[in-house]
Amino acid sequence: MFIFADFNLSYLYIYNLMSNNDTFSDDLGDNHIGTSIDNPLRKDAFDLTDEQKIELIKKDVTNILTTLGMDLTDDSMKGTPNRVAKMFVKEIFGGLNPAKRPSSSTFENGYKYGEMLVEKNITLYSTCEHHLLPIVGRAHVAYISSGKVIGLSKMNRIVDYYAKRPQVQERLTMQIVKELQKALNTEDVACVIDAKHLCVNSRGIRDIESSTVTSEFGGKFKDEKVRREFLDYIKLDTKF
Ligand SMILES: [Zn+2]
């Protein structure tokens, strides 16, 4: 499946046409359709501290597991609510907090390198916002300098920051491109993500083989030749 950038907009239109009832929300989630480039955060999202959030989530996880009939006095499980709460706030959803946004400091392109730079096979761990199950894959990011360059590991950090949220893959792809376009002051940025969604691989249709590819091509990458060059680099089988 190859999903292009304007995919979201058409679904946003469909979404607006439909009434926001639960059945439609369920369908929307099961079909992994995102509705906006911004994560749906409330205005009061950061009124609570991380520690307050962990305390509340701990109670909620306790409640879920108790409702399922689990005995939380069992040695193996008694720490689970606290572990899950900390993991949600500090790790897998840590990228919701703008305070954790990586600095994307840039440098002057002193050596006047004018070709594209590709950072490929960036390991990506995210979480599907419809099922709260892992998305595991690779991101490939490229840009053509307009005078500024960015540290290579910064590209990995930007991918990781936006991945650590409840996500849909299309939105994640667009957010990475937008962030780099801003930092590098150029439209000439592209990103391709190829990822497995455990909500597809391990439940529901249980198709272990399928993966989802999304792409966003900005500026010069809209040109067929430039895009082809980027996609050819991604295919290089680099071994060290
Ligand atoms: Zn899902």
For residue 231, the SS3 value is helix
Which ranges of the chain would DSSP assign to H, the alpha helix? 7-17, 22-30, 50-67, 80-86, 152-163, 169-184, 198-201, 224-235
**Active-site annotation holds for 32:** no
126: β partners: 135
> What average pLDDT does range 101-120 have in this prediction?
90
**Active-site annotation holds for 130:** yes
pLDDT tens digits, residue range 115-132? 999 999 999 999 999 999
High-pLDDT (> 90) share of the chain, %: 75
Distance of CA 158 to CAs 9, 133, 154, Å?
24, 21, 6
Residue 20: pLDDT over 70? no
What the block records as the tokens of 131 is 């099922």
How far is ligand 1, taken at its centre, from the CA of residue 143, in Å?
30
Please give the Cα distance from 97 to 49 (Å, whole number). 11
Lowest mean pLDDT, pick from 28-37, 95-104, 184-193: 28-37
Q: Is the dihedral of CA 86, 68, 129, 207 positive or negative?
A: positive
Lowest mean pLDDT, pick from 61-65, 118-122, 210-214, 236-240: 236-240
> What average pLDDT does range 85-112 have in this prediction?
92
pLDDT tens digits, residue range 40-77? 999 999 999 999 999 999 999 999 999 999 999 999 99
| pTM across the whole model | 0.85
How far is ligand 1, taken at its centre, from the CA of residue 176, in Å?
20
CA dihedral 137, 139, 140, 142 (to 10 degrees): 180
**Active-site annotation holds for 199:** yes
